[in-house]
Amino acid sequence: MSDNEATASGNFIRQIIDRDIAANKNSGRVATRFPPEPNGYLHIGHAKSICLNFGIASDYQGTCNLRFDDTNPHKENTEYIEAIEKDVHWLGFDWEDRLYFASDYFEQLFDFAVELIRANKAYVCDLSAEEIRSYRGTLTEPGRDSPYRERGVEENIDLFTRMRAGEFSDGERVLRARIDMASPNINMRDPTLYRIRHGVIHHQTGEEWCIYPMYDFTHPISDAVEGITHSLCTLEFADHRPLYDWVLDNISIECHPQQIEFSRLNLEYTVMSKRKLTELVSEGYVEGWDDPRMPTIAGLRRRGFTPASIRDFCTRIGISKSENTVEMGVLENCIREDLNSHAPRRMAVLHPLKVVLANYPEGQVEELEVANHPQDEAMGTRTIPFSGELFIDREDFRETAPSKFKRLVAGGEVRLRNAYVIRCDEVIKDVNGEIIELHCSYDPATLGANPEGRKVKGVIHWVSVAHAVTAEVRLYDRLFTRPAPDASGDYRDCLNPDSLRTLTQCVIEPSVREMRPGDRFQFEREGYFCLDEEADAENPVFNRTVTLRDSWAKIEQQYRS
C-alpha cells in the first residue's frame, strides 16, 4: 500500500505507528490528542481528526487526550468548550480523566521561555508588528536581523519579566526565538513566541496573564508535557514541523513527540473554516451553530445524522497526504445506509389532499397492523387507523397522466400502502379550478394483497383524516449553489436561497405521539426525517435528514456539464 492509499484498517499513519511499536519506540506506548481551539463549534472536518486520534488510541490500547488549545482568549469562550465536549462524547469517544487546557501549562511555558533566553535562543524585540513583517523577507528573499537580536541575556530576562508584570502595552514588545533570519522556511525566521494582550479575561486563567504564548511554541510543549507519542495534524502544519522540533530540541524536556501531517477534509457545497462558519451564524444566514444546514457536528445531529454514520464516513474517506474534496453524496450515503437499516417506517403526507371513500361504512375505523420495517421483523409492528376519509399527497394524483405515472389518476386505481385498492370516481374543485377533494371507492377484497388476476400499478401512502397529527416539516437542501463556495470571490454570493423549505400543513400518522425529540424515521416514499430536538410530540417539527435516493448525482451532472 502506498502512503496515499487508505483503507478502513490501515493508513500511512498506522504504518508509522506499527513500525514504531516494532522498534519499541516510546516503549511501545501510543498516546494521541485532539487539540481544538475553543473559538467555534466542531465541524465534520474535526470529526475526521477526532476519529483518527481516538480511533488510533483505542486500536493500539493507547490514550487520547482532549486538549483545548486556548492561547487566543479574545476569540474563545466557555460556550464553545461545552459544545466541543458534548460533540466529542456524542460522536462516541471518551477522554476519561484526560481533559487538558494549554493554559494549564502557562507557568511551565513561561519557564521554558526563560530557559531559551538564558541559552541566548530567544530575545525581546521592540519592532512593531508592521516592522517585524517587513524584516521577515519573502519566499525569495531572506529576512533581516532585528536590531534587538543581540540584546544581552540579562536585559532580555529583565524585559520579559516586565512584559509579564504588565509594564508594556499591547504590541510594544514581543518575545522571539533566535533561529535564522535567512532560513528558506519563513517559520524559522525568528518567530514570535509571546505577545502582550491586556484587558482580556481568559476563560480559564482570568486576569492572571497579560502575555500569551503563540501556538507554535505552546503546541509542542503541551504535547511533550502530556507524553504524546504521535502528534497528528493537518498538512498546513508541515512547514511548522521544523519549529515544532526546534522548540523541543532546545528546552530541557525528555519527551519529543513525532508530528505527522495528513490532509484535511474538504466537502463540496459547504465551507469549513471556522471564521466563515462564525460569519454564517453571526450575520444571520443560518439560525445558529446547530442549524441543520451547517456542516457542524451540532448541525448534523439536529439534522438527524447518527454518530455511527459520521464515524462510518470518516472511515470511508480514509487518511492520506493528498488534498482532495469529498462529494456531499458520500456523507449522505452513510446516513442513508444507516437509516435504511435502522429507522422505523412511518406514513406522513407532506402535501395533503383529502380523499373521501364513498362506499366505506359510515363511522367505521379499522386498526391495521403494519410492520415497522420491511426487512427487519425484530422491529415489530404497530397499528394504524384506516377510515372513510384519508389524506394522500397531491403529488400522487393527476387528473390525466401518461401511463408511466404509476399513481392515482381520475378514473384509475391505486393501492394504499398496507391497506386497500381505491378507485378515483370524481374530482372535486373549488371556484378557481383548484382540486380540493377526491371522491373514491375502495375494494374490500383487496386488504393487504391483490385478489387473483387483479393488477394495480402503484402504491401510495396515506393518513386517516380524523387521526392525523399536523406537523411542520423542514426540507433542507445544500447551503451553497457551487461545489467550492470559497474558490473564487465571496462565499456569501453563492448561498442557496432555497436551502430551507418549510411545510406547515403536513399530516402524520398518530403514532407520532410516541415519538421523542431526536427520534429518526423513514417517512415512506418521502425520505428520512427526525423529530426536531426542540419540538415536542404535540407540536411536532420534523427535519428531513436525507432523501430516499441520491439526488446529488443528478445535481452534480447539472453543475459539471
The catalytic site residues sit at 37, 264, 274
- C-beta of residue 506 within 8 angstroms of C-beta of residue 470: yes
- Using CB under 6 A, which of the segments 267-275, 393-401, 419-427, 477-485 binds ligand ATP? 267-275
Tell me whether residue 88 or residue 196 sits nearer to ligand ATP (CB atom).
Answer: 88
The interface with Mg ion within residues 28-67 (CB under 5 A) comprises 37
Of the candidate spans 13-21, 88-96, 266-274, 279-287, the one that interacts with ligand ATP by CB under 6 A turns out to be 266-274
Contact 422, 413 (CB under 8 A): yes
Closer to Mg ion by CB, 76 or 226: give it: 76
Q: Which residue is nearest to Mg ion (CB)?
A: 37
Contact pattern for Mg ion over residues 124 through 163, marking x by CB under 5 A: ----------------------------------------
Complex with ligand ATP: residue 272 or 371, whichever CB lies closer: 272
Which of ligand ATP, Mg ion, none is residue 427 near (CB under 5 to 8 Å by kind)?
Answer: none
Identity of the residue, 259 or 545, whose beta carbon is nearer to Mg ion in the bound complex: 259
Q: Which one of 17, 26, 41, 45 is in contact with ligand ATP (CB under 6 A)?
A: 45
For the range 481-490, what are the long-range contacts, defined as Cβ-Cβ under 8 Å and sequence gap of 24 or more? 481/269, 482/269, 482/559, 483/268, 483/269, 483/325, 483/559, 484/268, 484/325, 485/269, 485/270, 485/271, 486/271, 486/273, 486/276
Candidate segments 35-43, 282-290, 426-434, 456-464, binder of ligand ATP by CB under 6 A: 35-43
Nearer to ligand ATP, 45 or 352 (CB): 45
What is the nearest approach in angstroms of ligand ATP to the Cβ of residue 433? 53
Report how far residue 223's alpha carbon sits from residue 239's, in angstroms, rounded to the nearest whole number: 18
Amino acid at 251: I
- Does the footprint of ligand ATP cover residue 233 (CB under 6 A)? yes
Binding residue count for Mg ion, defined by CB under 5 A: 1
Please state the three-class secondary structure of 331-352 as a single string.
Answer: HHHHHHHHHHHHCCEECEECCE
Which is nearer to Mg ion, 37 or 145 (by Cβ)? 37
Q: Which of 272, 326, 371, 537 binds ligand ATP (CB under 6 A)?
A: 272
Pick the binder of ligand ATP from 234, 340, 547, 551 (CB under 6 A): 234
- DSSP label at residue 466: G
Contact flag: residue 257 with ligand ATP (CB under 6 A): no
Given the complex with ligand ATP, which of 272 and 401 has the nearer CB atom?
272
Element (H, E) at 268: none
Single out the segment in contact with ligand ATP by CB under 6 A; choices: 46-54, 308-316, 463-471, 491-499. 46-54
Contact criterion met (CB below 8 Å) for 44 and 326: no
> Which of 336, 328, 301, 330 minimizes the C-alpha distance to 317?
330
How far apart are CB 72 and ligand ATP at their closest, in Å?
10
Asked if 273 interacts with ligand ATP (CB under 6 A), we say yes
Distances from the Cα of 557 to the Cαs of 334, 475, 483, 554, in angstroms? Answer: 21, 22, 12, 5
- From the CB of 318, what's the least distance to ligand ATP, in Å? 12
Question: Smallest distance from the beta carbon of 533 to ligand ATP, in angstroms?
Answer: 24
Cα–Cα distance between 3 and 322 in angstroms, integer? 9
Q: What is the DSSP string of 415-465?
A: EETTS-EEEEEEEEE-TTS-EEEEEEEEEGGGSSS--TT-----EE--EEG
Mutual angle of helices 552-560 and 328-342, in 10-degree steps = 170
Give the pairing type, strands 348-349 and 500-508: antiparallel
Among 264, 342, 373, 398, binds ligand ATP (CB under 6 A): 264
DSSP 542: E
Decide: 176 and 131 in contact? Cβ < 8 Å.
no
274 binds ligand ATP (CB under 6 A): yes
Q: Does 250 interact with ligand ATP (rule: CB under 6 A)?
A: no
Cell numbers linked to 541: 417539527
The C-alpha cell that represents 238 in the structure block: 508541515
- Which residue is associated with the grid cell 412511518? 346
Per rule CB under 6 A, is residue 240 in the interface with ligand ATP?
Answer: no
* Residues near Mg ion (CB under 5 A): 37
Chain residues binding ligand ATP by CB under 6 A are 35-37, 45-46, 48-49, 69, 233-234, 264-265, 272-274
